[in-house]
Amino acid sequence: MANSQAIATSFKVEVLNGIHAFGTSVVRAATTADSFKAALYLTTATIGAASTAYTATGEVSGTGYTAGGVDLTGAVDWIAPASSGTTAFSTCTASIVYTTVTLTTAFDAVMIYNSTQSNKMVGCYTFGSQTITAGILTLTMPTNDSSTGLMRIS
């Protein structure tokens, strides 16, 4: 089985339970947005809708890459959640960047997860198989709207 692009099923339930806070208008006990991270996964991993939390199993390793991935700094890097029609959406404001990495085993997915909330998975996003040698990997974010936003719930 391969990686598959999906919002985690568990995340959908957690959103309804108020676990995750992406925006600046936090209404639960915490007064700040949560912290999120982005980890890369090998083409042989099996991250998808049934995954519930960050795991080191199947994660890439290599020079310049730190296990657990890179930080997305909460509300600073997320556009406040919005909606259009029946779809709610939010996207990172900046590209996800891994600087000066060497990853020689093929990878094709990034998991975004909430490091504030027990590393609960938000979603897995796939792209073409990649390797990189002493370079910068940049994952460019899509337009923040109801049809292409990084996270869409409809």
Asked if 39 and 98 touch (Cβ cutoff 8 Å), the reply is: no
Residue 154 lies in a domain: no
Question: Which among 71, 55, 64 is positioned nearest to 104, based on CA atoms?
Answer: 64
Residue 153 lies in a domain: no
Q: Residue 106: its pLDDT value, please?
A: 97
Query: Who has greater pLDDT, 105 or 11?
Result: 105
Across the chain, mean pLDDT equals 87
Q: Residue 154: its pLDDT value, please?
A: 80
Residue with tokens 């676990």: 19
Residue 79 lies in a domain: yes
Q: Which domain holds residue 110?
A: 6-26+33-146
Q: Residue 92: its pLDDT value, please?
A: 85
Question: Which among 36, 136, 14, 42 is positioned nearest to 91, based on CA atoms?
Answer: 36
Residue 151 lies in a domain: no
Residue 66 lies in a domain: yes
Distances (CA, A) of 26 to 73, 75, 90: 15, 10, 15
Evaluate the CA torsion angle 51, 57, 60, 66 in order and state its sign: positive
Structural domains in the chain (count): 1
Q: Identity (one letter) of the amino acid at 97?
A: V
Q: Residue 143: its pLDDT value, please?
A: 92
Lowest mean pLDDT among 9-13, 66-70, 72-76: 72-76
pTM over 0.85: no
Residue 1 lies in a domain: no
